[in-house]
Amino acid sequence: MQSNSISKDQKSNRTRILFFHFPFSIYLLPFSLFLLYSCHEETKKDKPIKWTNENSTNMHKTLAAEEEVDIKLFLAQHGDWKMTKTGSGLQYYIYENGDGIQPNDGDRAEIEFSISLLDGTQCYKTNTDEVQEFIVDHSEIESGIQEGVKLLHKGDRVKFIIPSHLAHGLVGDMNKIPPLTPIVVDFYLRDIL
């Protein structure tokens, strides 16, 4: 006849099994909750950035300082260029003096030029014996060239280093000159009409 009683050995085995499973289940429950919580993706709402005039000023100062370092490094490689710097940041070196008159506002200037980046990459150049014309202070030519041409005399040959804010600014020329890039212009004021 079988009895419903559990022997001492069976009780001991049951106790060991329960004792073994109990600590495991204590750790299993929190671990499972942790996995469920960590897999749940919450959508974070980004706070809109409040852009201020101070942010713009600081960004501009940082960009201008970085650009100034690039220009100084470029000029260190061209130590024979005796540059003059204007209040706007335009730098120029007249390496061949002409003997003509200075252009005035509204004069038509005939020029030859070569535009390159500080790394030497040539972007634009007038063809041999080709002349470009523009009206001083009334053309959509770079403001750095507009400023610089008024410092010259007919026949002058000059090297301009034009910082980006006087050249093509934040967007570049959308062709060969990248955004926020200073340019080097070899410039010849051929005639004033």
In a domain, 55, yes or no: no
- pLDDT per residue as tens digits for the range 169-179: 989 999 999 99
Amino acid identity of residue 87, one-letter, is G
In a domain, 53, yes or no: no
Element (H, E) at 186: strand 183-192
Tokens of 70: 């690039």
In a domain, 47, yes or no: no
In a domain, 94, yes or no: yes
CATH number of the domain residue 124 falls in: 3.10.50.40
- pLDDT per residue as tens digits for the range 95-130: 999 999 999 999 999 999 999 999 999 999 999 888
Instruction: Say yes or no to pLDDT of 47 above 80.
Output: no
Q: Which domain holds residue 168?
A: 83-192
In a domain, 33, yes or no: no
In a domain, 106, yes or no: yes
Instruction: Say yes or no to pLDDT of 48 above 50.
Output: yes
Closest CA to 177 of 132, 124, 133, 141: 124
- pLDDT per residue as tens digits for the range 51-108: 899 998 999 899 999 999 999 999 999 999 999 999 999 999 999 999 999 999 999 9
In a domain, 60, yes or no: no
Cα–Cα distance between 6 and 57 in angstroms, integer?
A: 85
DSSP 60-90: HHHHHHHHHHHHHHHHHTTTT---EE-TTS-
Between the two ends of the chain, the Cα-to-Cα distance in Å is: 130
In a domain, 88, yes or no: yes
Cα-only R_g, the chain: 37
- Say how many domains are in the chain: 1
